[in-house]
């Protein structure tokens, strides 16, 4: 069964600090892995997309890594801001153009 | 930046009533999807739609659900007889064949009372 597991479930950090979120997946056939940011009551917004051959992808203060051998990914957020408070969701695409398999998300709260 | 537009943003309906959730995908996209997210739970796949027909559906997408693309621009999700457990955020998404063009709408919050 295709599954995406994320940890931690929630995280509180101080503004300006860094953090790393983890994702493990068992999805076949693997197509790509995406990290989304979802604000409460809003649709997911894409942060990064990585294919099988990519190990790392950056988007501003967000850096995602992918280890296709161990089926693990991480999202590193540097110099966190209050506006980074949101749910961060790891999503794996199974096959070209197919449905997305969502993780449960990590709820990040950045406090001053 | 192109957007996927969903209406209404919030709908309250009585149990047993029919609801239609509307979506306007990005105009040059070819694949369309509905997902739902029950409060506090992960986003779940409902159905994918390509070339004017359903290409895949989940076990959640039973006979009370249907999708349509009636006029080439709108993409609708109909729930025939709503149940309390249908209360959720429903997200529409569209996708283009360059493999990176997955875009979600802001969602419709459906509350069944």
User: Among all residues of chain B, which has the CA nearest to that of A91?
Assistant: B43
Put simply, the answer to whether B104 touches A43 (Cβ < 8 Å) is: yes
A76-111 pLDDT per residue, tens: 999 999 999 999 999 998 765 567 899 999 999 999
Query: Worst-scoring range by mean pLDDT, A37-41, A81-85, B87-91, B97-101?
Result: B97-101
Residues of A in contact with B105 (CB under 8 A): 43
pLDDT at A105: 95
| Sign, Cα dihedral of A79, A91, A48, A63 | positive
Phi and psi at residue A96, to the nearest 5°: -70, 120
Question: What DSSP character marks residue A40?
Answer: T
pLDDT at A28: 83
- Which of B44, B104, B109 has the CB atom closest to A44's CB atom? B104
B5-44 pLDDT per residue, tens: 999 999 999 999 999 999 999 888 888 999 999 998 899 9
pLDDT at B77: 97
pLDDT tops 80 at residue B72 = no
- How far apart CA A38 and CA A31 sit, in angstroms, is 22
User: Among all residues of chain A, which has the CA nearest to that of B30?
Assistant: A97
Angstroms from A94 CA to nearest CA on chain B: 12
| Range list of H helices, chain A | none
Angstroms from A47 CA to nearest CA on chain B: 12
Q: Please, which residues bridge with residue B23 across strands?
A: B6, B75
pLDDT at B98: 58
């Amino acid at each position: 069964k295709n599954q995406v597991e994320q940890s931690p479930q929630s995280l509180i950090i101080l503004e300006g600090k860094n953090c790393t979120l983890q994702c493990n997946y068992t999805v076949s056939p693997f197509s790509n892995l995406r990290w989304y940011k979802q604000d409460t009551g809003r649709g997911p917004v894409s942060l990064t997309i990585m294919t099988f051959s990519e190990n790392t992808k950056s988007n501003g203060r967000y850096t995602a890594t992918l280890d296709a051998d161990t089926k693990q990914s991480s999202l590193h957020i540097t110099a966190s801001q209050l506006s980074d408070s949101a749910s961060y969701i790891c999503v794996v695409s199974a096959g070209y153009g197919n449905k997305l398999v969502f993780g449960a998300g990590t709820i990040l709260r950045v406090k001053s | 930046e192109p957007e996927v537009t969903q209406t209404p943003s919030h709908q309250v309906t009585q149990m047993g009533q029919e609801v239609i959730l509307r979506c306007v995908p990005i105009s040059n996209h070819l694949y369309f999807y509905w997902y739902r997210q029950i409060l506090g739970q992960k986003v779940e796949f409902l159905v994918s739609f390509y070339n004017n027909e359903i290409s895949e559906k989940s076990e959640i997408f039973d006979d009370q659900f249907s999708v349509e693309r009636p006029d080439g621009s709108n993409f609708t999700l109909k729930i025939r007889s709503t149940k309390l457990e249908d209360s959720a955020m429903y997200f529409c998404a569209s996708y283009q064949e360059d493999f990176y063009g997955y875009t979600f709408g802001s969602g419709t919050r459906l509350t069944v009372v």
